[in-house]
Structure 1
């Protein structure tokens, strides 16, 4: 997985996951509660700076990951932005469709812009955590926070089986490509259908073998792992407070300028 590969390369890798989790949770909560264009964009920018300055990852890595959810966010915001209105409704832009207007008003534009920027800010917060904290460190932090053990175990097993599913799909697709299974639209659709039907069956069998291997090694409902030697990293706490204060100040200024 790309995020885990970069998380192990991050300079924050050996920092305790608890301060990183705190920073992510606080900035994410403030960003979502503010529902602001400026706060969302500022949160995204600050998280990018932290990933590159503190984590030591190239800026291109962060930008490449940010591009992934942009399509989904754009499609979701367009569905909120565009509506059908009766003829004569004051709108900013519209197209006549069967005696009605397909367009958007100023309120629709404001709502979709706030939603889009808020979601981008949330994505930036989650990328700060995922690009600087491997999943194994995160699950250990959740255990220390007394998250129910069953939930943590399910997270670990599901995360492991993501790789099982991906590896199985990659092997099936490679076999299909070696037999020219994706030459032409009709053959490609047929191969894709076969891939979809076979990947879950084979992944299920492989997952069952993995579970049997765990039981043969003494698995009794919990995965026992050794904790890492972390640096305290509590210097991130003042940074968390400063970021939250900056978000709230920016929100207050935006509401004063654009009530």
Structure 2
């Protein structure tokens, strides 16, 4: 199974300027966050999805498999808000008497639920655009340019690396247990899961010690060297970015305050 880094390395948008991509993503996130209408976040989400699929050459099936699996949490949250958050009140759209409790959906709660869902879809589409078109090492290198993020990015880089070390150890131990029929029934599965957690805890600590020793033996001074990839900003890129920003501003002006219910 390919990781997001594998996808980003094969994307044509990888060779576009990182600063420009980060700025566009931040504009999209902030515009969607401060919009009072769900139309603008949904518009930005559609633009980001289209850019990721068309210009980034990301496989459609793989993209929506990842996107929809995460978006499901936003759907559940929006559904709960529609029933239990009254927002600005308004007219009752639907109600039911459940064991003496009146559960209802009002226009205010429906608008709030739709707005939360739209903002979630917007944020998810923006982050997917950045993560699927820019390798993580280039993102780490970019954010390390800001001195106040230097130490934070060092920690993020180590944590990011250890995610894959952790997964590799987990899969190796689990495969060994499976080959020895460690999951043949419920009782042995519980026992094997306990052994898996304990062994994983010990081995990750040992891996951490090995990593610390190997870094010290290579004269680690508290700062990891990064490859700084510099890509020129082309005129077509600037023009596309301006069209996106102007479109976002226009949609914001013409749809502010608009509600579906």
Does TM, scored on the shorter chain, surpass 0.5?
A: yes
Any conservation in 2 of the 1:52–1:58 contact (CA below 8 Å)? yes
Q: How far apart are residue 34 of structure 1 and its match?
A: 0.9
Q: How far apart are residue 233 of structure 1 and its match?
A: 4.7
Query: What is the aligned partner in structure 1 of residue 254 from structure 2?
Result: 253
Any conservation in 2 of the 1:35–1:114 contact (CA below 8 Å)? yes
Q: How far apart are residue 229 of structure 1 and its match?
A: 5.0
Structure 2 counterparts to residues 52-63 of structure 1, below 5 A: 52-63=53-64
Query: What is the aligned partner in structure 2 of residue 45 from structure 1?
Result: 46
Taking the aligned partners of 1:234 and 1:27, their CA distance within structure 2 comes to: 21
Query: What is the aligned partner in structure 2 of residue 161 from structure 1?
Result: 162
Q: How far apart are residue 256 of structure 1 and its match?
A: 6.1
Q: How far apart are residue 236 of structure 1 and its match?
A: 3.3
Query: What is the aligned partner in structure 2 of residue 131 from structure 1?
Result: 132
Any conservation in 1 of the 2:94–2:106 contact (CA below 8 Å)? yes
Q: How far apart are residue 61 of structure 1 and its match?
A: 2.7
Structure 2 counterparts to residues 86-125 of structure 1, below 5 A: 91-125=92-126
Query: What is the aligned partner in structure 2 of residue 205 from structure 1?
Result: 206
Any conservation in 1 of the 2:85–2:109 contact (CA below 8 Å)? no
Taking the aligned partners of 2:85 and 2:98, their CA distance within structure 1 comes to: 8
Length, aligned pairs only: 256
1:82-122 per-residue CA deviation (whole Å, 9 max, x = no partner) reads: 2399xxx9632233123221232121111011101111011
SS at match of 1:95: strand
Query: What is the aligned partner in structure 2 of residue 73 from structure 1?
Result: 74
Return closer, same or farther for 1:143/1:4 CA change in 2, 3 Å cut-off.
Answer: same
Taking the aligned partners of 1:192 and 1:94, their CA distance within structure 2 comes to: 45
Any conservation in 2 of the 1:23–1:237 contact (CA below 8 Å)? no
1:101-155 per-residue CA deviation (whole Å, 9 max, x = no partner) reads: 1232121111011101111011000011000001110111112344431112111
Greater CA drift, 93-102 or 124-133: 93-102
Q: How far apart are residue 205 of structure 1 and its match?
A: 1.5
Return closer, same or farther for 1:37/1:206 CA change in 2, 3 Å cut-off.
Answer: same
Return closer, same or farther for 1:90/1:121 CA change in 2, 3 Å cut-off.
Answer: closer
Structure 2 counterparts to residues 5-24 of structure 1, below 5 A: 5-24=6-25
> How high is the TM-score relative to the length of structure 2?
0.88
Taking the aligned partners of 1:220 and 1:99, their CA distance within structure 2 comes to: 66
Return closer, same or farther for 1:252/1:226 CA change in 2, 3 Å cut-off.
Answer: closer
Q: How far apart are residue 234 of structure 1 and its match?
A: 6.5
Any conservation in 1 of the 2:36–2:257 contact (CA below 8 Å)? no
Greater CA drift, 38-47 or 227-236: 227-236
Q: How far apart are residue 257 of structure 1 and its match?
A: 5.1
Return closer, same or farther for 1:200/1:36 CA change in 2, 3 Å cut-off.
Answer: farther
Which runs of 5 or more structure 1 residues have no equivalent in the other structure? none
Any conservation in 1 of the 2:37–2:259 contact (CA below 8 Å)? no
SS at match of 1:56: coil
1:228 aligned to 2:220?
no
Q: How far apart are residue 176 of structure 1 and its match?
A: 1.6
